Structure 1
Amino acid sequence: MADPLPHKLRSDARDNRERILDAARGLFAAEGLDVPMRKVARRAGVGPATLYRRFPTKRDLVVAAFAEQMRACYVVAEEALADPDPWRGFCRVVEEVCEMHAHGRGFTDAFMTAFPDAMDFAGDRERALRSIAELARRAKDAGLLRRDFVLDDLVLVLMANRGVHAASAAGRVAASRRFAALAIEAFRASPDHAPLPPATRLAPAPPRA
């Protein structure tokens, strides 16, 4: 008869990992990436040793917690790029990415942070940005997106969107949708637009320990 203990250990390890990731996502969403690792362990109901055995660094924990959202962001950009109407696709990116980021500060912080050695995570981010840049080029060529738009303008929108606060998660998402609509109107090509000030290059922040 097979010994059930190894299977139980594997099951417990999986449960611990999911509890840690659920706790991390909740805390990161509420407080950003500055949450101490020990606080994540307490929320998950595991000891610090268990947390560090699964995720030796904050970077490891952040990448695991938000890998799915990063992939979803990339899919949004790719689907928008496939839209034959580049302006509609561009608007979809602004709306959906702002809404994704409105669900928690943690994902915005993770998106804005440089993880050069987390190739899948960083790769999805860079591929999403390249797709959005190509979409913006097409929208400009169609005369629908203002000519002085640069990709860092979308990053500015996400940074500002991070500061949206409301009494509830639903209220935060509703406010984010309104903010996205205002941003889209600012991005729309118009002969009445005054030129923008010079763009500033926004470098990703270094990972938090």
Structure 2
Amino acid sequence: MSSSGPGCGDRRLRADAAGNRAKIVAAAQQVFGEEGVAAPLTRVAERAEVGIATLYRRFPDRDSLIAAAFDDVLERYRRNAEQALAEPDPWAAFASLVLGVGELAAENLGFAHLVQAAAPVRHRSGDTVPPSFETVLAVLDRAKDARVLRADFSVDDLPVLSFALAGIIETTRDDAPDAWRRHALLFLDGCRPPGATPLPPAVDPARLQRAMIRARRRRQTR
């Protein structure tokens, strides 16, 4: 029986489109994981073995491709935050949160860049905040209430830590892939209240986000 009847061509086109989308997402996960989210999209198209026009038909802009490529890793981040909140010891929960960010960044360089580019901004009227952000806030509040986390620690310090760890990971990942752990532990010790030196005010969240977006753009122009 012939397979060229009515609708077969449409089904084949849909299957080809779905196949191309899957190849592009897989390639983006690899390229962004190796080079960060500022990697040229032409590199993604080459890795997927499709033309750049095909990539743009499936994903009209970089952000839509990033969202698709990092769906799984962002789900892991959400689960890590929930597991930290479930930890009964407030300090262990906070440390788990920090080390979890480092581990994800070490596994996937693109995750660190993604966090930098999407640094959380404080609540304003009408803001939409992802559930993982609320979970992170709950972990921090509980640690502060238990007086195991310094009172002047800000949620906006977490993306700055990610920014710092990303630099260490980029520099050392080929020769000393676990080097970031030493600096994460130094950071954690600095978060404990005993003997803590009072901090200057936290950077304004909107300015922090602008700085990280500019850093992402500078990587895109390299």
Q: TM-score normalized by structure 2?
A: 0.78
- Alignment partner, residue 118 of structure 1: none
Shift of 1:127: 2.1
2:156 is the counterpart of 1:152: yes
Which of 188, 191, 196 aligns to 1:193? It is 196
Q: Is the 8 A contact 2:37 2:114 kept in 1?
A: yes
Rounded to whole Å, the distance in 2 between the matches of 1:135 and 1:28 is 29
Distance in 2 of aligned mates of 1:111 and 1:167: 18
2:114 aligned with 1:110: yes
Counterpart secondary structure, 1:149: coil
Which one of the candidate residues 169, 183, 187 is aligned to 2:187?
Answer: 183
Map Cα deviations across residues 33-55 of structure 1 (whole Å, 9 max, x no partner).
22222222122110112111111
- d(CA) in 1 for partners of 2:187, 2:133: 18
Q: Secondary structure at the match of 1:145?
A: coil
SS state at 2:199 partner: coil
Q: Which runs of 5+ in 1 are unaligned?
A: 116-121
What residue number does 2:53 align with?
49
Aligned twin of 1:143: 147
Deviation string, structure 1 residues 115-171 (Cα, Å, up to 9, x no partner) = 9xxxxxx96x732222111111111111111111111111211110110122528x3
Q: Which residue is equivalent to 1:202?
A: 205
Cα distance in 2, alignment partners of residues 37 and 62 from structure 1 = 11
| Larger Rg, first or second structure (1 or 2) | 2
Q: Is the 8 A contact 1:95 1:180 kept in 2?
A: yes
Over the aligned positions, Cα root-mean-square deviation in angstroms equals: 2.6
Contact 1:99/1:176 (8 A) holds in 2 = no
Say if 2:28 and 2:44, in contact at 8 Å, map to a contact too: yes
- Aligned to 2:150, what secondary structure does the other structure show? coil
- Please state whether the residue corresponding to 1:163 is helix, strand or coil: helix
Query: What aligned pairs does 1:40-189 form with structure 2 within 5 A after superposition?
Result: 40-114=44-118, 126-164=130-168, 165-168=171-174, 171-172=176-177, 174-189=178-193
Q: Does 1:26 align with 2:52?
A: no
Q: Which residue of 1 aligns with 2:40?
A: 36
Q: Bigger shift: 16-25 or 131-140?
A: 16-25
Q: How many residues align?
A: 199
**Shift in alpha-carbon separation, 1:13–1:157, aligned structure 2, 3 A:** same
Question: Conserved in 1, the CA contact under 8 Å of 2:23 and 2:48?
Answer: yes
Identity of aligned residues (%): 38
Structure 2: tracts of 5 or more residues without a match: 120-126
- TM-score normalized by structure 1? 0.82
Structure 1: which amino acid aligns with 2:198? P
Q: 1:139 & 1:193 partners in 2: Cα distance?
A: 15
Q: Do the aligned partners of 1:81 and 1:89 also contact (CA within 8 Å) in 2?
A: yes
- Structure 1 distance, partners of 2:25, 2:174, is 22
Code of the residue aligned with 2:109 in structure 1: it is: R
What is the Cα deviation at residue 58 of structure 1? 0.8
Q: 1:73 to 1:167 in 2, by over 3 A?
A: closer
